[in-house]
Amino acid sequence: MPRELWPIFHRNRHLLHDLPALGASVVGQWIKIKYGARALIVVVPHTFGGDLKFNAHLHILVSAGGQQESTGYWIPRLRLNKDVLMRMWRVAVIDHLKRALKANVLKSELSVPQVQRLLGTAYYSAKHPRWNIFIGEIESKSHFLKYAARYVRRPPIAMWRLKKVDCREVCFVAKDTKAKEMILTKRPLSEFVRLLAAHVPQRFEHAIRYFGLLAPRAKNKTNAGLFLLLGQKRPPRPMQITWRDSLLKHFGVDPRLDSRGQEMRWVRHEKPVRA
């Protein structure tokens, strides 16, 4: 979406929360209109770019095939139309913001007429004739998991990009996506913290959202039939890794060992003693 809309979602986190469902509904509606089918849809919302600026956008995984609603059969190949999806996504976002403005749940430093003009310009102008949408094919499921995990389980900036941090400023390496180069950037400490704070998700907000045949309410009803249609067996639920094993695996630290390297064992509760 145009960068002029980013401040609206930055300030209105409840509207930012709606974006994954909005994006999934656009994709799902197109597939239903074109093929009369439902697909598996996974959405990973993303707010930061290579320079840490707030940049609201979505990464969406769509299954290559889908289940036809009229017959129940599996359609092996769904082809998405980039131009149509772009126009549908543009209408959905602008309409959503207009409804929020009308319901008085959109906060902005601009006046209502100014916001209305901004939405009209963002919808279509010589500056924004198209909204950027990229459609590509993934190599494998593991490839997507590694790609999505970069945005789900890590901070907005990697440690190696932090070159200098003191009480006054932070020096870090920023990515210039247009020039396709790394640029050494300096920011006052307070501004750097403000940039990072903008990407902290709301409490209890999910980093990955599931829709279509993967929607929580539909999954239990459709999973058995989908595995049967695809000729696959449902894998068993993986064993939950313990707290100790998790620290050993990822950090090489055994929390059960004391300073002498001896394993600590549970003995008993001790009553508190007054000093």
Helix boundaries (H) for the chain: 6-11, 13-35, 82-102, 112-123, 141-152, 189-197, 216-229, 243-251
The helix, strand and coil proportions of the chain, stated in percent and rounded to the nearest 5, come to 40, 20, 40
What percent of the chain is modeled with pLDDT above 90? 41
Bridge-partner residues for 38, per DSSP?
Answer: 67
How are strands ordered across the β-sheet holding 40-48? Answer: 54-62, 40-48, 209-212
106-153 pLDDT, tens digit each: 999 999 999 999 998 888 776 667 788 888 888 777 887 777 777 776
**Residue 275 in this model has a pLDDT that exceeds 80:** no
Q: How far apart are CA 200 and CA 196, in angstroms?
A: 7
> Domain residues of the chain, as ranges?
3-154+203-235, 157-198
229-238 pLDDT, tens digit each: 888 888 888 8
Q: How far apart are CA 6 and CA 275, in angstroms?
A: 56
The pLDDT assigned to 23 comes to: 95
**Residue 201 in this model has a pLDDT that exceeds 90:** no
Contact 174, 50 (CB under 8 A): yes
Q: How far apart are CA 221 and CA 67, in angstroms?
A: 13
What pTM did the predictor assign? 0.79
